[in-house]
Amino acid sequence: MKNPWEEIELSDYENHMKLNSVMQLQYLNLRMKDQFKMHPVTSVMVLGVAGGNGLEHIDTKIIQKAYGVDINSKYLEECAERHKNLGGILECICADLTDKHITLPHADMVIANLLVEYIGYPCFQRVLMQVKPLYVSSVIQINTNGGFVSDSPYIHAFDGLGRVHHQMQEDGLAAALESINYCLEGRKEQALPNGKGFVQLDFRKSNSCGTYG
């Protein structure tokens, strides 16, 4: 059975995400702009890159290699087309992150925005242990209204996501990463429409993490 993300049209996803009643595409773009500037890294991997929202903020004078990873090959084709200016820097990788047999390259920093929700903590841990980044930045969605997809004219495009969605908890993600020696070093919160919110958690690789909480 295909992963539902392989069957969702990019136009449906982006049009839903940028609605005034959702505002997630716009906020994620701003978050990624900041994420790219957080640390003086020369390589970065964006998990769940979709059509490349936010990649325009890559400073090519600093970042020499950017990997965009997604399960949907059509998303990646559009991502590469939109960001031709990143030729020689951007490499798109089509991969199912829940597959234990995938091979991913090293990157100094991993950005995973609204991604862990669809692979779960153990898969995310496994990916990080393979990529071995120095820094990890992840935006997760906090739902206070009971549903993880906002109502919109595009809502039925996401009907299949329930079977791969994992409810995220801030302390759960922090504990999962601290168990593989990524220390929580920063947190940002943003309220969104429809009773939702984003929390950005930033981590640094260390051998001396304390117990979260």
Whether 210 maps to a domain, the answer reads no
How many structural domains comprise the chain?
A: 1
Q: For 115-172, how does the pLDDT look when each residue is reduced to its tens digit (9 = 90+)?
A: 999 999 999 999 999 999 999 999 998 875 656 677 677 777 878 888 888 888 899 9
Whether 195 maps to a domain, the answer reads yes
- Reference 141, options 121, 168, 123; nearest CA is 168
Residue 166 burial (C-beta neighbours within 10 Å; 0-12, 13-18, 19+): middle
Q: For 160-182, how does the pLDDT look when each residue is reduced to its tens digit (9 = 90+)?
A: 888 888 888 899 999 999 999 99
Residue range(s) defining the domain that contains residue 72: 4-205
What's 133's domain CATH number? 3.40.50.150
Q: For 5-35, how does the pLDDT look when each residue is reduced to its tens digit (9 = 90+)?
A: 999 999 999 999 998 888 899 999 999 999 9
Whether 158 maps to a domain, the answer reads yes
Whether 107 maps to a domain, the answer reads yes
